[in-house]
C-alpha cells in the first residue's frame, strides 16, 4: 500500500489533534554531495550497464498522447496532480551528484507519462498517478483495470482514452488488489448505481473489502507519520529533495472512493467473461497485498501481473510499517504464473511502470523476479541457520550478478537490506538471541548513559573526523545519541542532518532517500506540521464495520488511566439494526454484538451515521455525550466520564528526536 497516508488520515482525522510546533532549530542546508558520495555513486555507475536504453524505449513504446494539461484539479480547484513538479527529471541525461545515478535513471523513465498502446485492444495511462490505469477494449465498451488513487485522476485517464482512441462506456472494472492507489478512483470511471445493480461488473479478489478498509487503520496514526518520511511528503521535489518513490512519481491529493465489488474471485484458474473478453485468474494472497490476483487475457495473449512483478525490487516490509510479507509466497506465486501462462503470453504489464513484449522477455522477467524473492528468502534463512543475526545478514547479503545487474532487480522502491531484515523478522522475530539485547534500555536512557560515559565533546570530535572520511552511517549513529540525550544540542543536530543527507544522496531506493532527507530536514528545521489533517474519505468510512470502528476506538483507550474504572453501556444503532453491549474493565474496552448488558449504566441510541460523522471529523468523540443525535436512558454523566478516558493521537510526533 503505497499512498496509504490519505486513507490512514481519513480514518484518524477525528481523533488526531495537532499541537503547537516546537521552536525550530535554525535551518541550514541542503548541502552539495561530498567527494565520498560522488565516488560511491560513480562506483555504482560503473557496475551497472547505463548504456542499455531498452527500458527507456519500452516506456515510450506505443505513446499516443499526453494529458491535455499537466495539472489535474479537484472540485474546489485545488491541484490533485501537478506533473510540472517533475520537469527537473526531464532536463538532461546525467544524474546530478546529489542523486544516486541508478535511482535518477529510474525516475527519469517514470517521468514519461500519458496514454500508451500496449497491443491492439489494450491501453494504459501511466504516470499521471502512482498506479497505472489500464483499458481493455471489450465488445461494447472499456474494461478498466485498476483506477488509480483518486476519482479525479481516474476520470482524467478515461477522458484521455475516450478522446484519443474511441469514446466508449465503461462496461467492467477489475481491481487487482487491496491497496488504495488501485481502487480509490472508482467513482471517476463508473457510476455507483451501475455497480450496485450489477449492470457493470466490479471484480476483485476474495477478501478485498476487508483488507481495503482495515489495512493500516489500527496503527494508522503511527503509519501515517512514518509515511511522511517514506514518501517525502514534506520535501521539495528537486535534485536535493524527493525525486519520487522508485515505484511511480505523483503523490495524489484527490478524492478517495470505494465501492462494494459485485463479483469476487476466489480460486486460481477461475474464468469469467466481461463484455465479451475472457479473463483467467490466478490468486496471489499474501504476496504484495493480503488480497491480490493476477490474470490473463487469452484473446490478447496478455498477462496482467498486478504488482507481483515490477521494474524494481518491492517491499517485503514497507518502511511506513505494515505486516511482514512472505518472499517465499511471492516467489511461489510467480512460479505458478510462469507455469500457467508462460508458454502463451506475448506481453505482460502491471499496475506500475511499463510492459514487457515478446514471450522470451515476458518469461525472463517473471523468472528473474521469482528468483529474486526466492534468493532473499532462502539465503536469509541459510545465514540465520548458520548463526548470523538480522543486521549481520543484511550487511553481508549480496545478490548474484545475474540478478543484481538487472535494473528491474534493483531496490528502487524496496531495499535489499530491509527485505532481508524483514524476512528474518518473519521467521525469527526482532530479537537476535543475544541476552544483552533481550531487554534494552529505551532510546533516551540509553543515549544519556552513552553520552555520559563517552562525553559529548569526544563524540562530536569523533563524528567530525568520521564525516570527513565519509563514514556517514557512524556519524548518524553517534550524533543521534547526542540528540536523544539533549535535543537542544544544535551542533549535534546539524552534523547528524549532514550525515543523513549524504546517505540520502547515495541511496538507490526512493523511499530510503526520502527517509534520510526527511530526517535531515526535521533535525534542521523542526517538525513542519500540516495546517489540516482531515482528508476523510466518506466511501471508506462508510465501509468500516461497526465492529471495526469499536476495535479502533478501543486502541485509543488509555489503559492505565482506566485501570480501576468500571463502565457498562448498551449501544443501539437503529438505522443498521445493530446492538452492542460495551464494557470498560481492567483498562480494557470489550463489546458483544446482539448481547446486551442486563443492568447497564445507560442504554444509548444513535444512528450508525453518527459514528461516521465522528470518523470523518464532523463531530468530536466527546460530543457523543451531549449531541441531540444521541438518546440516553440512564446515566449520561458516566458515559461522558468514560469518553474522557480515550487518548487523542497527535499525527506529528517526533521521529528524529525524542
Instruction: Tell me whether residue 652 is in a domain.
Output: no
pLDDT of residue 537: 74
Tell me if 528 sits within 8 A of 520, measured CB to CB.
no
What are 409-455's pLDDT values in tens digits?
Answer: 999 999 999 999 999 999 999 999 999 999 999 999 999 999 999 99
Q: What does 620-636 look like in DSSP terms, one character per residue? A: -GGGGGT-TT-EEEE-H
> Distance between CA atoms of 586 and 595, rounded to whole angstroms?
20
Residue reference for cell 502512482 = 130
**Mean pLDDT for the chain?**
93
pLDDT of residue 591: 97
Instruction: Tell me whether residue 85 is in a domain.
Output: yes
> In this structure, are 277 and 416 located in the same domain?
yes
Task: Pick the closest to residue 357 from 110, 566, 572, 116 (CA basis).
Answer: 116
Instruction: Tell me whether residue 400 is in a domain.
Output: yes
Quote the cell numbers at residue 240.
536535493
pLDDT of residue 543: 86
Q: Is it the case that residue 535 has pLDDT exceeding 50?
A: no
Instruction: Tell me whether residue 564 is in a domain.
Output: yes
The CA-atom distances, in angstroms, between 409 and each of 21, 29, 55, 145 are 41, 33, 13, 25
Tell me if 484 sits within 8 A of 519, measured CB to CB.
no
> In this structure, are 518 and 555 located in the same domain?
no
pLDDT of residue 20: 33
> In this structure, are 184 and 256 located in the same domain?
yes
> In this structure, are 556 and 452 located in the same domain?
no
> In this structure, are 410 and 503 located in the same domain?
no
pLDDT of residue 511: 97
Q: Using pLDDT thresholds of 50, 70 and 90, give the confidence band for residue 220.
A: confident
> Distance between CA atoms of 490 and 482, rounded to whole angstroms?
10
Tell me if 642 sits within 8 A of 468, measured CB to CB.
no
Q: Provide long-range contacts, Cβ within 8 A and 24+ apart, for 593-600.
A: 593/547, 596/570, 597/568, 597/569, 597/570, 599/568, 600/568, 600/569, 600/570, 600/634
> In this structure, are 498 and 635 located in the same domain?
no
Q: Is it the case that residue 61 has pLDDT exceeding 50?
A: yes
Q: Using pLDDT thresholds of 50, 70 and 90, give the confidence band for residue 26.
A: low
pLDDT of residue 536: 54
Alpha helices (runs of H) in 111-234, residue ranges in sequence order = 151-164, 180-183, 192-197, 208-214, 220-230
> Distance between CA atoms of 293 and 206, rounded to whole angstroms?
9
Segment 597-619 mean pLDDT: 92
Q: Is it the case that residue 530 has pLDDT exceeding 80?
A: no
> In this structure, are 411 and 288 located in the same domain?
yes
> In this structure, are 339 and 283 located in the same domain?
yes
Instruction: Tell me whether residue 576 is in a domain.
Output: yes
Percent above pLDDT 70 for the chain: 95
Strands 170-174 and 588-593: unpaired
Strands 271-274 and 277-283: antiparallel
Other Cβ atoms less than 10 A from the Cβ of 86: the count is 21
> Distance between CA atoms of 549 and 610, rounded to whole angstroms?
12
> In this structure, are 498 and 634 located in the same domain?
no
> In this structure, are 484 and 370 located in the same domain?
no
DSSP strands (E only) in 300-419? 302-304, 347-349, 356-357
Buried b (16+ CB within 10 A) or exposed e, 615-632: bbbebbbeebbeeeebeb
Instruction: Tell me whether residue 179 is in a domain.
Output: yes
Tell me if 122 sits within 8 A of 136, measured CB to CB.
yes
Angle at 245 between CA 243 and CA 246, to 5 degrees: 95
Domain boundary among 426, 454, 487: 426
> Distance between CA atoms of 379 and 579, rounded to whole angstroms?
52
Segment 333-353 mean pLDDT: 98
- Considering only CA atoms, give the Rg of the chain: 26
Q: Using pLDDT thresholds of 50, 70 and 90, give the confidence band for residue 249.
A: confident
> Distance between CA atoms of 513 and 503, rounded to whole angstroms?
7
> Distance between CA atoms of 128 and 110, rounded to whole angstroms?
10
CATH of the domain at 290: 3.60.15.30
Q: Is it the case that residue 597 has pLDDT exceeding 50?
A: yes
Quote the cell numbers at residue 351.
499496475
Segment 324-337 mean pLDDT: 98
Segment 606-615 mean pLDDT: 91
> Distance between CA atoms of 178 and 221, rounded to whole angstroms?
20
- The 3-state DSSP composition of the chain as helix, strand, coil percent (nearest 5) reads 45, 15, 40
pLDDT of residue 3: 42
Task: Pick the closest to residue 154 from 168, 171, 179, 173 (CA basis).
Answer: 173
33-47, 85-99, 113-127: least confident range = 85-99
> Distance between CA atoms of 623 and 604, rounded to whole angstroms?
13
Segment 31-35 mean pLDDT: 97
pLDDT of residue 311: 98
> In this structure, are 315 and 454 located in the same domain?
no
What are 114-123's pLDDT values in tens digits?
Answer: 999 999 999 9
Other Cβ atoms less than 10 A from the Cβ of 547: the count is 12
> Distance between CA atoms of 192 and 197, rounded to whole angstroms?
9
What are 93-149's pLDDT values in tens digits?
Answer: 799 999 999 999 999 999 999 999 999 999 999 999 999 999 999 999 999 999 999
Q: Is it the case that residue 315 has pLDDT exceeding 50?
A: yes
Domain boundary among 404, 426, 448: 426
Counting the structural domains of the chain, the total is 3
Domain boundary among 391, 426, 461: 426
Other Cβ atoms less than 10 A from the Cβ of 171: the count is 22
pLDDT of residue 8: 42
> In this structure, are 409 and 482 located in the same domain?
no
> Distance between CA atoms of 106 and 55, rounded to whole angstroms?
9
User: Which helix H or strand E contains 505, and what residues bound it?
Assistant: helix 490-506
Instruction: Tell me whether residue 367 is in a domain.
Output: yes
pLDDT of residue 269: 98
Q: Domain range holding 214?
A: 4-15+53-426
Percent above pLDDT 90 for the chain: 85
pLDDT of residue 21: 37
Q: Look up the pTM and report it.
A: 0.94
Q: Is it the case that residue 658 has pLDDT exceeding 70?
A: yes
Task: Pick the closest to residue 50 from 99, 95, 98 (CA basis).
Answer: 95
CATH of the domain at 447: 1.25.40.880
Amino acid at each position: 500500500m503505497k499512498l496509504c497516508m490519505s486513507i490512514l488520515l481519513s480514518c484518524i482525522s477525528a481523533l488526531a489533534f495537532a499541537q503547537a510546533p516546537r521552536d525550530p532549530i535554525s535551518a541550514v542546508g541542503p548541502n552539495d554531495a561530498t567527494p565520498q558520495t560522488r565516488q560511491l555513486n560513480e562506483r555504482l555507475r560503473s557496475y551497472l550497464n547505463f548504456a542499455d536504453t531498452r527500458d527507456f524505449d519500452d516506456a515510450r513504446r506505443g505513446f499516443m498522447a499526453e494529458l491535455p494539461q499537466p495539472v489535474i484539479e479537484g472540485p474546489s480547484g485545488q491541484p490533485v496532480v501537478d506533473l510540472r513538479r517533475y520537469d527537473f527529471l526531464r532536463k538532461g541525461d546525467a544524474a546530478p551528484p546529489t542523486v544516486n545515478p541508478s535511482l535518477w535513471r529510474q525516475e527519469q523513465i517514470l517521468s514519461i507519462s500519458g496514454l500508451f498502446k500496449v497491443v491492439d485492444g489494450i491501453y494504459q495511462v501511466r504516470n499521471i498517478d502512482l498506479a497505472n490505469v489500464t483499458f481493455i477494449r471489450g465488445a461494447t465498451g472499456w474494461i478498466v483495470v485498476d483506477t488509480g488513487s483518486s476519482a479525479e485522476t481516474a476520470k482524467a485517464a478515461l477522458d484521455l482514452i475516450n478522446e484519443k482512441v474511441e469514446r466508449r462506456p465503461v462496461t467492467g472494472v477489475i481491481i487487482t488488489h487491496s491497496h488504495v492507489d488501485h481502487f480509490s478512483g472508482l467513482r471517476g470511471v463508473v457510476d455507483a448505481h451501475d455497480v450496485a445493480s450489477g449492470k457493470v461488473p466490479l471484480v476483485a479478489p476474495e477478501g478485498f473489502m476487508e483488507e481495503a478498509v482495515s489495512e493500516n487503520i489500527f496503527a494508522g496514526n503511527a503509519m501515517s507519520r512514518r509515511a511522511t518520511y517514506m514518501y517525502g511528503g514534506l520535501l521539495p521535489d528537486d535534485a536535493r529533495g524527493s525525486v519520487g518513490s522508485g515505484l511511480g512519481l505523483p503523490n495524489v491529493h484527490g478524492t478517495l472512493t470505494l465501492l462494494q465489488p459485485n463479483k469476487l474471485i476466489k480460486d486460481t484458474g477461475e474464468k469469467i467473461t466481461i463484455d465479451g473478453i475472457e479473463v483467467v485468474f490466478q490468486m496471489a494472497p499474501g504476496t504484495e497485498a493480503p488480497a491480490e490476483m493476477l490474470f490473463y487475457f487469452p484473446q490478447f495473449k496478455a498477462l496482467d501481473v498486478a504488482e507481483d512483478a515490477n521494474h524494481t525490487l518491492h517491499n517485503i516490509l514497507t518502511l511506513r510499517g505494515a505486516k511482514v510479507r512472505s518472499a517465499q509466497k511471492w516467489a511461489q506465486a510467480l512460479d505458478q504464473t510462469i507455469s500457467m501462462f508462460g508458454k502463451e503470453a506475448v506481453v505482460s504489464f502491471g499496475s506500475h511502470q511499463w510492459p514487457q513484449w515478446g514471450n522470451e522477455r515476458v518469461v525472463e522477467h517473471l523468472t528473474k523476479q521469482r528468483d529474486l524473492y526466492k534468493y532473499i528468502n532462502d539465503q536469509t534463512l541459510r545465514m540465520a541457520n548458520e548463526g548470523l543475526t538480522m543486521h549481520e545478514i543484511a550487511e553481508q547479503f549480496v545478490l548474484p550478478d545475474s540478478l543484481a545487474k538487472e535494473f528491474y532487480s534493483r531496490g528502487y522502491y524496496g531495499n535489499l537490506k530491509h527485505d532481508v531484515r524483514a524476512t528474518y523478522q518473519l521467521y525469527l522475530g526482532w530479537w537476535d538471541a543475544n541476552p544483552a539485547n533481550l531487554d534494552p534500555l529505551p532510546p533516551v536512557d540509553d543515549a544519556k548513559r552513552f553520552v555520559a560515559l563517552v562525553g559529548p565533546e569526544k563524540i562530536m570530535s569523533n563524528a567530525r573526523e568520521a564525516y570527513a572520511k565519509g563514514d556517514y552511517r557512524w556519524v548518524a549513529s553517534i550524533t543521534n545519541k547526542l540528540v536523544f540525550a539533549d535535543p537542544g544540542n544544535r551542533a549535534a543536530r546539524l552534523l547528524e542532518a549532514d550525515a543523513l543527507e549524504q546517505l540520502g544522496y547515495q541511496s538507490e531506493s526512493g523511499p530510503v532517500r526520502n527517509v534520510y532527507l526527511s530526517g535531515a530536514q526535521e533535525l534542521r528545521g523542526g517538525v513542519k506540521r500540516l495546517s489540516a489533517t482531515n482528508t476523510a474519505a466518506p466511501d471508506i468510512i462508510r465501509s468500516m464495520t461497526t465492529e471495526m470502528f469499536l476495535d479502533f476506538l478501543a486502541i485509543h483507550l488509555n489503559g492505565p488511566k482506566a485501570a480501576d474504572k468500571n463502565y457498562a453501556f448498551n449501544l443501539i444503532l437503529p438505522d443498521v439494526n445493530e446492538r452492542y453491549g460495551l464494557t470498560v474493565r481492567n483498562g480494557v474496552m470489550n463489546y458483544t454484538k446482539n448481547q446486551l448488558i442486563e443492568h447497564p449504566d445507560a442504554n444509548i441510541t444513535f444512528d450508525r451515521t453518527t459514528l461516521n460523522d465522528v470518523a470523518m471529523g464532523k463531530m468530536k468523540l466527546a460530543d457523543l455525550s451531549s449531541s441531540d443525535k444521541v438518546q440516553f436512558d440512564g446515566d449520561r454523566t458516566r458515559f461522558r466520564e468514560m469518553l474522557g478516558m480515550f487518548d487523542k493521537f497527535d499525527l506529528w510526533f517526533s521521529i528524529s528526536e525524542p
